[in-house]
Each structure stands twice: as C-alpha cells, then as structure tokens.
Amino acid sequence: MAITAADVNKLRQQTGAGMMDCKKALEETNGDFEAAIDYLRKKGAKVAANRQDRDAKEGVVLSKTSSDNKNAVVVSVNCETDFVAKNADFISFAEQIAKIALEKNPANIDALKALPFDNNVTVGDKFMEQVGKIGEKIDIAYYQIAAADFVASYIHPGNRLAVAVGFNKPVSAEVAKNIAMQAAAMAPVAIDKDDVDSGTIERELEIAREQIRAEGKPEDMVEKIAQGKLNKFYKESTLLNQEYFIDNKVSVRQFLQSVDKDLTITAFKRYSLS
C-alpha cells in the first residue's frame, strides 16, 4: 500500500522517531501502525545492543517525594552526551520515569522497567523507543527508595545530583531542606558509623595502616593510630557525625537534637553523576 506523508507524520507524532525511520517502518509493515511501532522498538533494541560498549555517563538525576512525605525515590536516567541530558524532552522523560517509580514503588530497576509506561508499552519498551529516537545508549543507572515517618528530597541545580533524607518524625521545611543540602554537599557514605559497611571500614583501616607505616611509626602504634584515623573518617563521612554546614561548631546530630531531642535521620539516599 502507498504510504502517505500524513501517515508518516502520524507515526512520528506517536513515537518521536525520525521521519525516514517512520517511513521505513510503515513500508516494512504495509502501513500497520501497531506493527510499525513494534518495528521501531525492535530498531531501538538493536541500536541499544550495538551501543552496550558505550558509556552513558551523562543524564538526569531526580528525587521525588510522595504527597504524604512518607516515601521518596532517587532515580538517574543516563545517556551518552550532555546535549541529550539538557534536552527538555529527555528531562520530561526522566520525570515520567521518576513519577512511575514513586507511584508504584518497585523493588529494583528490573521491576521498574517491567511496569507499564502507558497503556501500550512497558518502561523498558519505552527506553528502547527512546534509544531508537535519540540514537544514544539510554538506561536507568540508579534507583533507590527512601521510606520514613517524614521524607524530604533535594535536586541540585543542573539535575546531576539528588538526595532523599528520611526522619523519624515530621520536621519543618527549612530543617528538611538544610539536611538534604548537607547530604548533597558533603557526600556522606552512611547515616552513622554503625551503618558503614565492613568493606569500607577495612579499606579505610588498610589505607591508614599503610600511611602510618610509610611515616615510620613503630609497628605497635600502627593499630591505635589507624583507629584514630577511622574515627576521623566517621566524622567526615557519616551524615549524623559531620559538621553541620551552616554552623560547624555542632554536628548534624547535635543540630537535630537542638530542634527536637528525639529527632534523628533514619533513611538516606544520594546519587551524583561523576
């Protein structure tokens, strides 16, 4: 059958794919729009497979909080170039992915990709469409949930860094924002020292031991000095023990206790594009 310019334009509006790609899809499927959409998805999947060795280090990092402030998600939708990352359509697409994640609360990235994007396609299928449309490797690089009695989120200007912080009770908007900004700026690895994983602790101790030995300290002092360096690491790298960025005379824990003696942080997620 003859493929008209109106048919091509209709498919282009539906899929966002290029004009020549839409024309080719309609020709290959004898004008069947559903089959043509599948054809374009398959083209996208092929492009994605061909680009698996490419680095998708750019993108959009977002955090969204539920209306009851009980849940938040941090999601990074990655692409290859800064040009695509700053495109309004790509940012809107990332926003939609974050919205779906917040509404459906999937357990992991694979579960998120299996969710419906709309009535016709899954999130994973939509990614394939976007690959075919944009011609870059596009994927979800990070997805985590933060759940607590009160959750706040923060997106740093530029959409390259986002944070979600959960508290054990409601806090003011100012307190929530300041703690989220603290987590964004100071890049803690955990909430408190007991939350630091054993691998990180052992790595910090081993680095400290090597530094101490290189300084010529006696072997019987190495372990004691290494523990001191580990305590410094806890102070610099765990959220509750860090110096509060607005008043470095107090720790974040001390600041929270000045607001409410029982107030603390119970959840924390942070992701940044390097």
Return the structure tokens found at 126.
């939509």
Give domain limits for the chain: 5-50, 58-171, 193-269
One-letter amino acid for residue 124 of the chain: G
Q: Which of 194, 165, 196 is nearest to 269 (CA)?
A: 165
Calculate the alpha carbon distances from 57 to 25, 47, 84, 115, 163 in Å. 31, 18, 11, 24, 18
Determine the Cα–Cα distance for residues 188 and 140; give it in Å rounded to an integer. Answer: 23
268, β-bridge pairs:
165
Determine the Cα–Cα distance for residues 2 and 207; give it in Å rounded to an integer. Answer: 70
Class of the CATH-defined domain 58-171:
alpha beta
Determine the Cα–Cα distance for residues 127 and 120; give it in Å rounded to an integer. Answer: 13
Q: How far is CA 169 from the centre of its chain?
A: 25
**Tens digits of per-residue pLDDT, 14-51?**
777 888 988 999 999 999 998 998 888 888 877 777 77
The answer to whether residues 52 and 74 touch, using CB atoms and an 8 Å cutoff, is: no
Amino acid 120: pLDDT: 79
244, β-bridge pairs:
247
Instruction: Evaluate whether 5-50 and 58-171 have a shared fold.
Output: no
Amino acid 12: pLDDT: 83
**Tens digits of per-residue pLDDT, 187-222?**
999 999 999 999 999 999 999 999 999 999 999 999
Return the exposure string of 100-136: e unless at least 16 CB atoms fall within 10 Å of the residue's CB, then b: bbbeeebeebeebbeeebeeebebbbbbbbbbbbbeb
Determine the Cα–Cα distance for residues 200 and 222; give it in Å rounded to an integer. Answer: 19
Amino acid 50: pLDDT: 77
Return the structure tokens found at 212.
């101490």
Q: Which of 24, 1, 268 is nearest to 132 (CA)?
A: 24
Q: How far is CA 78 from the centre of its chain?
A: 9
Determine the topology of domain 5-50 in CATH. Answer: Helicase, Ruva Protein; domain 3 (1.10.8)
The answer to whether residues 268 and 239 touch, using CB atoms and an 8 Å cutoff, is: yes
259 CB-near residues (< 8 Å, 6+ apart): 171, 175
Amino acid 185: pLDDT: 96
Low-confidence ranges of the chain (pLDDT < 50): none
Q: How far is CA 251 from the centre of its chain?
A: 27
54 torsion bin: left (phi>0), alpha (psi -120 to 50), beta (else)? beta
Determine the Cα–Cα distance for residues 220 and 270; give it in Å rounded to an integer. Answer: 39
